[in-house]
Amino acid sequence: MDKDVKNPNDSEKSKQLENYEIDYTDKPLTTRQGLKVNDTNNSLKAGERGPTLLEDFLLREKIHNFDHERIPERIVHARGSAAHGYFELYKSIEQYSKAGIFTDTSRKTPVFTRFSTVAGSKGSTDLARDVRGFAVKFYTEEGNWDLVGNNMPVFFIQDAMKFPDLIHSVKPEPHREIPQAASAHDTFYDFVSLTTETMHNHIWVMSDRGLPRSYRMMEGFGIHTFRLINKEGKAHFVKFHWKPKLGVHSVTWDEAVKISGADSDFHRRDLWNAIDTGSYPEWELGIQVVAEEDEHKFDFDLLDATKLIPEEMVPVEIIGKMVLNRNPENFFAETEQVAFLPGNIVPGIDFTNDPLLQGRLFSYRDTQLSRLGSHNFHQIPINRPVAPVYNNQRDGHMQMEIHKGRTAYFPNTIGGGCPYLSKVEDGGFESYQEKIDAHKIRNRSESFADHFSQPALFYRSLAPWEKEHVISAYSFELGKCEIQAIKSRMLYIISKIDKDMAAKVADNLGMDIPDTVEKPLNQAIGADAEVSKHQPKEKKVYLEASKKLSQDHTVFDTIETRQVAVLVADGFSMSDFEKVEKTVKDQGGLIKIIAPHGGTVTCDQNMEHEVNAAIMTTESVLFDAVFIPGGKKSVETLLSKAKFSKFVKEAYKHCKAIAVANEGEQLLADLKEQDVSKDKAIFINKDSEAFCKAIAQHRNWDRMPSAEKIAV
């Protein structure tokens, strides 16, 4: 067909599509029934700090639609990996909770734990800059308890009503479906710059916490403030923490980009291989407990999910540990079909009036109904409790249980009154009796309006190298935005957190920091709300720094499961190799032989060694350290292959430990402009113990400024 002659069907198709096109310009926001909406930022509560009300039809419509947008993939946390394990209690905390999992130290409670990214689709990379989900299902004797959290202690938003807006902004832009698994685009920063409550979680994502080295090397948090209830009925507020035994470690952004190309399944493979080889990941469970009478003693609100409690104010008490020791048999049946619900609790644990938590209690169940196709999803094996289940809920799609008897109602006499009600003292659940006396109101507490104090505390607490990474992250993300007004607004907001940080980001962008913005910052208010009341307050300094917020204060005493790349070719020195191999393996590290080719490689003692990867199939970013043994023939071969030199230069650039022996020193020739003799993580003919200590330190960040000049 001539390109200038239009297909007659095109115009008919255009008319058909026009019937479904909606222009939102200059139109008021309405419900699906056409009802004009006055506030789409706050759920209906019993008082500004009270519980969210079930009658909130606006919240239910908005979240119900959001929960059903996609099937069967999760809308958020689609990309994930999981494992089975167990939880053991170190000591009873019966003074706080009557839950058996917190009082019975003889128990070994089965768990299933799933880690995930948030924004990307199921097929996206593991190494996206993102929050990581950290969800644990405890199969307790009293029923399932799901602790559904993230690897960051705070969330982006304060009220669940904003969750669809947050995710819509960070998902690929709808007109072109890009970018995938990335927040560096206009729609996200348009939302963030107008919703300043996001800034605390956002600066965590911009830090190294957004790029974990491994699922096994990241913290987990319950995010919300929950309640613990003891047998006397007394309540305490609590926040839950998971502390990894291997410490909290990350990769750099440059590594993340390259790992995504070299092995987009990096975290998934790492978790699977660690468990498969018996290096079981472990976390200790800690709690921060606050007495009810101390609820209002802080400079922030305990019900605000964008706030954490610094450990200097309330120490974390370690009470138990989780060990993951078994991989799933079938990814779909277990990892994909597991359904986590924050509403799954047991006697001794209860909720608070946190408006984000209150909305999640509705949203997660609704999501599982859509994703798994039936309200009987609890009967799928991975979701079944170990506690026996007896109730009068019947039938429905995919019913798998065969219920006996004539009755499915209560009360009854035909069935002997069964299943019967349990008394509280016999384990029956009783909701905490909190007194509520408040007006129904669609608003939020003024105590939620401090948006800058804790982001500033976080940034002040970081080590210099961590601060540089945050600045680089903001510079990259905003540099990807196309709308100048959004970038300018973000610079203004960042300056409210830290002026020096904002100045460096602005310099990288070639922009100036504006003195003001064109409209009120905080848009999380209704049309009739008093704007000034909800504007973000000036930051306060109630704590100069909190060292636990920095990865500079994590665990640095183990190299367990760390991968050491050994660069060799035929003729390498067995004597050099043996010394390092023994020390690394004795300390739980892994030796990976990288050679010019696959198959086997022969040392100078004519012994064959299995090659773990040919140099053309792997990258330096996949390893934690590098060792090059001597051997004239071997080193000559390595020098003839350009990628070996690149491998070493890249390891240097990423501040990793490097050890060389004898002729292996020639591979450092490309670093001649650097004074490697004074580098505390480069070892030339040194003992292997020192090398392993440097690996345990994760990186030599002192090298960072000069390392950035290295071209690879």
**pLDDT tens digits for range 550-569:** 999 999 999 999 999 999 99
Do residues 92 and 84 touch, judged by C-beta distance below 8 A? no
Residue 593: helix, strand or coil by DSSP? strand
What are residue 36's DSSP bridge partners? 30
Can you give the pLDDT at residue 301?
97
CATH code at 270? 2.40.180.10
Q: At what angle do helices 484-497 and 499-509 cross, to 10 degrees?
A: 150
Domain boundary among 320, 353, 383: 383
Res 6: pLDDT? 44
CB distance 177 to 475 below 8 Å: no
Determine, yes or no, domain membership for 260: yes
E-only strand ranges, 219-281: 220-221, 226-229, 235-244
Question: Residue 490: inside a domain, yes or no?
Answer: no
- Take residue 453 and report the two structure tokens written for it: 């104090």
pLDDT, residue 114, reads: 98
**3-state secondary structure at position 21:** coil
Q: What pLDDT shows up at residue 412? A: 87
- 150, 230, 353, 383: the catalytic one is 150
Q: What is the pLDDT of residues 121-164, one digit of tens each?
A: 999 999 999 999 999 999 999 999 999 999 999 999 999 999 99
Final residue of a domain: which of 383, 400, 423?
A: 383
Q: Which domain holds residue 67?
A: 44-169+213-383
Report the C-alpha gap between 352 and 432 in whole angstroms. Answer: 9
- Tell me how many domains the chain contains: 2
Q: Tell me the percentage of the chain whose pLDDT exceeds 90.
A: 76
Looking at residue 19, its pLDDT comes to 60
With b meaning 16 or more CB within 10 Å and e meaning fewer, what string describes 166-195? bbebbbbeeeeeebebbbebbbbbbbbbbb
Rounded average pLDDT over 611-619: 98
C-alpha closest to that of 213 among 546, 458, 682, 563:
563
**Does residue 65 have an active-site annotation?**
no
Boundary of a domain, candidates 383, 406, 438: 383
- CA-to-CA distance for 295 and 291, rounded, in angstroms? 7
Over range 500-504, report the average pLDDT.
98
Residue 553 in contact with residue 546, Cβ under 8 Å?
no
Residues 181-216: tens digit of each pLDDT? 999 999 999 999 999 999 999 999 999 999 999 999
Is residue 361 included in any domain, yes or no?
A: yes
pLDDT band with cut points at 50, 70 and 90 for residue 258: very high
Would you say 215 and 81 are in contact if contact means Cβ atoms under 8 Å apart? yes
φ and ψ of 608, to 5 deg: -90, 140
DSSP assignment letter at 336: I
CA–CA separation, 576 vs 685, rounded Å?
A: 9
Name the residue among 336, 360, 93, 88 with its Cα closest to residue 222.
Answer: 360
The CA distance from 63 to 594, in Å, is 51
Looking at the domain assignment, is residue 122 inside a domain? yes
Q: Is residue 463 part of a domain?
A: no
pLDDT band, very low/low/confident/very high, at 72 (cuts 50, 70, 90) = confident
And the tokens for 463? Answer: 């080590």
Is residue 535 assigned to a domain?
A: no
For residues 451 and 295, what is the distance between their CA atoms, to the nearest angstrom? 19
Q: Measuring CA to CA, how many Å separate 195 from each of 27, 54, 188, 629?
A: 21, 26, 11, 55
In a domain, 21, yes or no: no
The active-site residue, picked from 77, 241, 267, 534, is 77
The predicted structure's pLDDT at residue 1: 37
CATH, residue 592:
3.40.50.880
Q: How confident is the model at residue 523 (pLDDT cuts 50, 70, 90)?
A: low
With CA atoms as reference, report the closest residue to 185 among 408, 602, 481.
481
Is 375 known to be catalytic? no
Q: What is the CA radius of gyration of the chain?
A: 28
Q: Average model confidence (pLDDT) for the chain? A: 92
Helix H or strand E encompassing 355: helix 355-372
Domain-embedded: residue 459 = no
pLDDT tens-digit map of 405-417? 998 888 889 999 8
Note whether 163 and 150 are within 8 A (CB).
Answer: no
| pLDDT tens by residue, 639-649 | 999 999 999 99
